[in-house]
Amino acid sequence: MSGAVRVGCSGFVYRDWRGTVYPADLPARAWLDCYTTMFDTVELNTSFYRLPAATMVQRWADAAPPGFIYALKVGRFGTHRKKLKDPDFWMANHVERFRLLGVTSGPHLFQLPPRWRVDVGRLDAVLEVARALAPTWRWAVEVRDPSWLCDDVYAVLAHREAALCIHDLLPDHPWVRTAPDWTYVRFHGPDAAHHAYVGRYTGRRLATPAGRLAAWRDEGCDVYAYFNNDHGGAAVHDARWLRERLNEG
């Protein structure tokens, strides 16, 4: 059985999307409704900067049409300030708040800071807590320092059934699947290692990753892919291209 395919953008609130992605006269409060007509998933970056109010999370849940899901980034307090230390209390806050999403809750992403070298013990500890608090949720980890791209990390992720987030901010990031039946991919821009978040990939640059993801999909792997090249709405165009290619087969 083929895996499910979810492709969308990293965020939906960008000023320069007015008049390009969204109609120029559409009020910002209606942008989410408009976005949900284009994609069936979005990665919410706002949760990385601060824990949103319960009323906001409930609003997101209520706004989601049937089948729509949110991917959530774990707050930078835990990943950057604490560097994964003492996960019991801050992970509990994350899980409690986002339980309000109910069936609209998708994967949850730990984005680790750059220039923080590998610490397998802390990674294992935080994933143990995460799995204990929300055993049915899917957890992904994006590393920003190349020292984390090693077999010991892959083994911890596999043991906890967490996905290594594949991305292009680190040159030659390996395409490694650590979760048994799903993967998480982020596209930060066609020249992300030097100029992130800008530019179109187009089909020429996306053909190779599309082929890899299609092969995994055919093996029964669920695919979650998000485009973060938001400037000028480039993410929307590239996400549409990848979704169409992956839904062809």
Judged against a pLDDT cut of 90, whether residue 248 lies above it is answered with no
For residue 249, what pLDDT is reported?
62
Q: Hey, what are 68's tokens?
A: 């729509």
Q: Give whole-number Cα distances, 84 to 117, 122, 147, 166, in Å.
A: 12, 6, 16, 20
Q: Residues 101, 133: contact at Cβ < 8 Å?
A: no
Round to whole Å and give the CA distance between 182 and 140. Answer: 10
The domain that contains 39 carries what CATH number? Answer: 3.20.20.410
The dihedral region occupied by 17, where left means phi > 0, alpha psi between -120 and 50, and beta the remainder, is alpha
Report pLDDT digits (tens) over 142-160. 999 999 999 999 999 999 9
Q: Residues 122, 128: contact at Cβ < 8 Å?
A: no
What range defines the domain where residue 77 resides? 5-246
Report pLDDT digits (tens) over 6-21. 999 999 999 999 999 9
pLDDT band at 203 (very low <50, low <70, confident <90, very high): very high
Judged against a pLDDT cut of 90, whether residue 93 lies above it is answered with yes
Q: Hey, what are 136's tokens?
A: 């049915």
DSSP codes of every residue in 152-185: HHHHHHHHTTPEEEEESSSTT------SSSEEEE
**Percent of the chain residues past pLDDT 70, beyond the cut:** 100
Report pLDDT digits (tens) over 102-111. 999 999 999 9
Round to whole Å and give the CA distance between 238 and 230. Answer: 10
For residue 231, what pLDDT is reported?
96
Q: What is the mean pLDDT of the chain?
A: 97
For residue 9, what pLDDT is reported?
98
Report pLDDT digits (tens) over 52-79. 999 999 999 999 999 999 999 999 999 9
Quote the pTM value. 0.97
Closest C-alpha to 245, from 1, 67, 5: 5
**Percent of the chain residues past pLDDT 90, beyond the cut:** 98
DSSP state of 15: G
The tally of domains found in the chain comes to 1
Closest C-alpha to 230, from 3, 41, 9: 9
With 0-12 / 13-18 / 19 or more C-beta atoms within 10 angstroms meaning exposed / middle / buried, residue 235 is: buried
Round to whole Å and give the CA distance between 86 and 205. Answer: 41
